[in-house]
Structure 1
């Protein structure tokens, strides 16, 4: 439930369209719902504009299923990240409209339509191997109501590929750059655009990439202004932050 929905509900109470007790029943799970193994933050969309997102890694299939089952009663869109196929199959049994993105490892349940922004987020990858992280960012941004444009495999080993797509990137309100190896693409893009760049280091690369640590340090030391950095492989964090910027 968001602020506008609360206002609508209170107007209906004021107008006599629904009984006070019915409204009380709707509010009874605020601020959170205790499930024993999880406390579902039903107040989050009211506070920050977006409902709680389920991080599935470390949870059991039954826990994920139980959380989704409760959240599906609240008429909010549901996003679960780092989900495996077994989790999806369990969710699909209770929410037939559930969608699974195998690359992003996300589950989405669309409970209501969202207004999509006119401005868009550009999501850029250095290589094909960075696509899973970029997909997590894209799924996140899209379910939060953002238009997304993807530019794939334009890393510094063939910089001419980037220049061919530079107009798409420059047209975005905010740019996400996912890159592994040495992570140089974020700095290159940061030096070519007048929009904020969110850099996502990925755990792609050989031994000395240290599972994304090299790219992370490279991005943190970027000489280009306007580049911020999220954690290694954190496509969700990049997509969420980009959504906030895109909607300012």
Structure 2
């Protein structure tokens, strides 16, 4: 049988999309996203194809956006992909998203976490991916929870199982040592730590799995606001990967991509 060319495949996809639109099975935003790879809103263009292209669901960064703009992008995400992930959301952002989603899709599930400042919306019947791989998300202290929590949410949305291990900072190594066996069970480890940021380098010397260091903007004085934590992670003599200060989304996405690769090799 003759193999279809890419142009023929694209033409067939476009025709199917237009037929679904004409039949009322999909809306304009979803039709546009299928054809162009993104959907246009008054608040900007939403990259609806990112998960298919990159393996990472597109997120709406609420910080810097008005609540109505974040809500418009979230509803577009829900319409085009079946879910929405909003990060760095204030209570006003979360309230606007909840109201907009309630109007557009009353049966959708909306989960707002005030600590992680995330809003996760799943359409009714949406089935998130499930990977045969686990990410351990480790924090040095309570102040690291918001950034670590953002990483956890992203890794879960990619499909990884997550084991959260909290408050094992190096000020008392016993707290870490009694959790080492548990951390070693994970396929990839994210470690969030502020101040001098020693925890990621210590963990990386104790486990075989890849370790992703997330410097957190805690601490004060010389090297405060994450500067010392970032420098320490970059200068680590144990092998690890370092993301930017407070970059929980990036750490969670990287961990999720590693989990996907492990799942694909099972």
TM-score (norm 2): 0.82
Deviations 1:21-59 (A, max 9, x none): 226865433222222431111222221123311111100
> 1:166: which partner in 2?
180
Q: Pairwise mapping of residues 33-112 of structure 1 onto structure 2 (< 5 A)? A: 33-96=39-102, 97-111=109-123, 112=126
Deviations 1:42-100 (A, max 9, x none): 22222112331111110001101111122221243211100011111111112242111
Deviations 1:80-131 (A, max 9, x none): 1000111111111122421111110000001211232232100111111111
Deviates further, 72-81 or 103-112: 72-81
Tell me, yes or no, if the aligned pair for 1:191 and 1:224 is still in contact at 8 Å. yes
Q: Pairwise mapping of residues 179-194 of structure 1 onto structure 2 (< 5 A)? A: 179-194=193-208
> 1:4: which partner in 2?
none
Tell me, yes or no, if the aligned pair for 1:72 and 1:78 is still in contact at 8 Å. yes
Unpaired segments ≥5 residues, structure 1: 1-6
Q: In 2, distance between residues paired with 1:137 and 1:156? A: 21
Count of residue correspondences:
234
What's the C-alpha RMSD, in Å, of the aligned pairs? Answer: 2.1
Q: Pairwise mapping of residues 129-208 of structure 1 onto structure 2 (< 5 A)? A: 129-208=143-222
When residues 172 and 131 of structure 1 are mapped into structure 2, their CA distance, relative to the original with a 3 A threshold, is: same
Question: Which of 3, 13, 28 does residue 32 from structure 2 map onto?
Answer: 28
Helix, strand or coil at the partner of 2:183: helix
Deviations 1:137-165 (A, max 9, x none): 11111122111001111111100111101
Kindly state the Cα deviation for residue 19 of structure 1 after the two structures are TM-superposed. 8.8
TM-score (norm 1): 0.88
